[in-house]
Chains A and B, each alone.
Chain A
């Protein structure tokens, strides 16, 4: 499986560390809403199909990426930095990498 890091280009899955479901919202730090914390820490959507998930390119630029991947086919439909804002610098040009 290859994940195309916006910075580094397509790299083998072994360079990445999986960090689970992307959509989880961390409650306000001071929040005492137990249900919200329980959901954030423990509950997962775990869909059979399109899944929005986090990967860290730990063996490369170490950026965290939001990857949309189909859990039935492993086909990846999109990849973006989690810190999309301000990431204008440096994207692999198309063609630089297959």
Chain B
């Protein structure tokens, strides 16, 4: 069986680009998690869903808007009232979550193919993202682990801060290639490296 194909593949140019006079301001990559799953709770069962996420992944999602947590291989964050995006580099997360969340508690929706995960990492990450999103990416406004759902014109994006200068973006697959090109374009002035 073939590996899932990345929508970025034809425009994927590893290496350093743009104005590198100050080094690469950001490193851009596609993290390609095998599991991207949306979990949604019915009103009142949010805590049960948070507990299920913890049981399935070991991630303790804080109970607050946009609250989240990320490890090297897993991540989870709130994207809407009662809704969470849960990500795992490994396969099988959707089945695992379905096993723990029944229809009376909430719903589980597989999005592993439907969303493309793009990582923006580096000292200029906030600057580059500020060109595309009307979001305050300051560390006070968006602490590590937490996330936001927002948009760049026609492209909806769910963004989690997974480090002091690292952001993971989840965008619709069909628009990912165009978005990636826009992202690279926006990073040219600070220099970027694709890995």
A residues bordering B, Cβ < 8 Å?
6-9, 11-12, 14-15, 59-63, 81, 83, 85-93, 96-98
Interfacial chain A residues near B134, Cβ < 8 Å: 11-12, 14-15
Interfacial chain B residues near A63, Cβ < 8 Å: 80-81
Bound CA span A34–B79, Å: 40
The residue of chain B having its C-beta at the shortest distance from the C-beta of A5 within the complex is B65
Contact B81 A87 (CB under 8 A): yes
Contact B150 A89 (CB under 8 A): no
Contact A93 B150 (CB under 8 A): no
Contact A97 B141 (CB under 8 A): yes
Bound CA span A12–B43, Å: 27
**B interface residue count range (under 10 / 10 to 19 / 20 to 34 / 35 or more):** 20 to 34
B residues bordering A, Cβ < 8 Å?
41-44, 46-47, 63-67, 78-83, 134, 136, 140-141, 148-151, 156
Contact B136 A60 (CB under 8 A): no
Contact B81 A90 (CB under 8 A): yes
Contact A7 B65 (CB under 8 A): yes
A98-B81 in contact given A15-B151, A89-B46, A90-B65 (Cβ < 8 Å): no
Bound CA span A87–B42, Å: 10
Which residue of the partner chain, among A8, A86, A87, A98, contacts B66 with CB atoms under 8 Å? A8
Interfacial chain B residues near A61, Cβ < 8 Å: 79-81, 83, 149
Bound CA span A69–B81, Å: 23
Contact B44 A8 (CB under 8 A): no
Interfacial chain A residues near B67, Cβ < 8 Å: 90
Contact A8 B65 (CB under 8 A): yes
Contact B136 A62 (CB under 8 A): no
Which residue of the partner chain, among A8, A14, A81, A90, contacts B46 with CB atoms under 8 Å? A90
> Smallest Cβ distance from A57 to chain B, in angstroms?
8
List, sorted by A's number, 12 A–B pairs whose CB atoms are closer than 8 Å: A7-B65, A7-B81, A8-B150, A11-B150, A14-B134, A60-B149, A62-B149, A86-B42, A90-B82, A93-B65, A96-B140, A98-B136
Contact B150 A81 (CB under 8 A): no
> Smallest Cβ distance from A8 to chain B, in angstroms?
6
